[in-house]
Amino acid sequence: MSKPTPLDLIRQTALHALSAAETLLPEWLPGGTRKGREWVAPNIARGDQKAGSFGVSLDSGRWNDFADDSAHGGDLVSLLAYLNGCRQLEAAKEIDDRLRLRLFNLTAADAQQLQERRRQADQERASWSLREQQLQEEKNLAAARQASQLWKMAKPADPLHTYLLAKGVQPYLLRQLGQGRLLVPLCDDGRLVNLQIITPDGGKRFLTGGRVQGCYSPLGKFSDGCRLYVCEGWATGATLHNNTGSPVVCAMNAGNLKPVAVAMRERYGATLDLVIAGDDDRKTIGNPGKRAANQAARATDARVVFPEWPAEAPSDLSDFNDLYLLLAGQSKKSRKV
């Protein structure tokens, strides 16, 4: 067997790096957390202040920054090359040294043994990945059952709830548990699969193990050929629904805009007047809200709209609810003059 080529060495290094992903990624991308089978962290290559737009698969090594179309790759060698601004061969050598693999000093016999170990590792990883998928599906089902139970226990939300008053919106479909906990339903094709729980101080969380990607919170009735808005947060959706009369689906975060928009397009077809109502994250490097909205619009042949800010609008305002509250406040002030 001949000595491995540089491309072979890069591929072999990538496989070893994937096996050590949970050790390497916290070193390369500090400040991140594991979410399911993904490492989500601030993108240090462009100075992110918080996590959310940058994710790395722990199963495949694929990585992507939805706030930057050019930032993506298929393995951990390409990730390190991107973060370090170097060639993949240099990144592979750094990983080889970090993990003490000695791949770049292999003899032909060593390479043959390594190939056999890699084949066995691939089989073990495939089996393990299947089990992880089964466990996640079980968690999804458990969360859906819990969502159904909590939804039945809850009462219609109080229109005078602190959060609703702060956002200037009606409760619509929301329900409420004790201690002022609002329940926002997340659906998949009309079925309740998860809940977002909002506390009076605005704190938010989803049910543990519940699905979010591709799921949405609906407002209003859908029909063939109608105009349908897709936005991020529920309060933004309630504002859009109140001011336009059109149905809205709330994706809950920027990374979920595209999956939800694709699901709506597939379900209702080309006659649906799909409009992505994006956040304008002006204070965040790369403006992830705007990028995600534009990506969702391109993927679904939809229109996209953003808040049109008055010149004096503070730069930390980002969504249509912020704009509504700003303009409502100005309107009140003008009536007092």
Question: Between 21-28 and 76-84, two packed helices, what is the crossing angle to 10 degrees?
Answer: 10
Domain count, the chain: 2
Place of tokens 């928009």: 261
pLDDT computed for residue 51 by the predictor: 67
Range of the structural domain that residue 56 is part of: 6-106
Name the domain boundary from 85, 106, 127.
106
Q: Is 329 exposed, middle or buried (0-12, 13-18, 19+ CB in 10 A)?
A: exposed
d(CA 89, CA 87): 5
Name the domain boundary from 76, 106, 136.
106
CATH number at 44 reads 3.90.580.10
**pLDDT tens-digit readout, 65-80:** 877 778 899 999 999 9
d(CA 261, CA 314): 29
CATH number at 282 reads 3.40.1360.10
Give the pTM.
0.68
Provide the β-strand partners of residue 304: 276
Is residue 198, in this structure, part of any structural domain at all?
no
**pLDDT tens-digit readout, 156-188:** 999 999 999 999 999 999 999 999 999 999 999
**pLDDT tens-digit readout, 260-286:** 999 999 999 999 999 999 999 998 888
